[in-house]
Amino acid sequence: MTERTPAAPDRPLTRALHAAAAERGLWGGDALPDVPELFALVRDMPYARADTHEPAGIIAGWRGTCSTKHELLAALLAEAGLRSTVMACTQEIRPPADAPAELLALSGGQPVVDVHNYLVVHAPQGDMTVDATWPLAAAAAGLPVNAAWEWGQDHTDSD
């Protein structure tokens, strides 16, 4: 687990995210995104392996997995004055019985152990579990998506 502490008020990563989102038509206006909007922008980056674990590189590549999205979000929250801790856990994923035969063959019909990352944000309202893994569009595929940032409210687990 890695804890991020608040950084200087300049907010260079937030400015970079703002610019990259504006280039993609995902953010308008001159105001920097606030915390719920930072969460939404990171969450809605495509789920794909990033080229780096450096926050600026994740923004430039505009994609991430659970680990890289949460490393980026922790850095953005630190710029906003919030402490957070990147957490890791393991979980068992069981392919559904009606999964494609290729998937069932890969897993040998057994559960697959996955390492998952998420954040614990040390918010003024109390610690909250935050998971920005899956973009909103992934809900159509049945993946667990956390649609909103609600101060003091834990997110559900994303697989």
53 or 5, which is more confident:
53
Instruction: Output the CA torsion sign for 101, 157, 45, 55.
Output: negative
Task: Show me where the domains of the chain are located.
Answer: 2-141
81 or 4, which is more confident:
81
| pLDDT above 50 for 29 | yes
Q: Residue 115 forms beta bridges with which residues?
A: 90
* pLDDT tens, residue by residue, 39-88: 999 999 999 999 999 999 999 999 999 999 999 999 999 999 999 999 99
- For position 156, what pLDDT does the model report? 78
- Cα separation, 39 vs 41, whole angstroms: 6
Query: Structure pTM?
Result: 0.84
Q: Of 30-39, 71-80, 104-113, where does mean pLDDT reach its minimum? A: 104-113
3-state class (DSSP) for residue 37: helix
Q: With contact defined as beta carbons under 8 Å apart, do 116 and 159 qualify?
A: yes
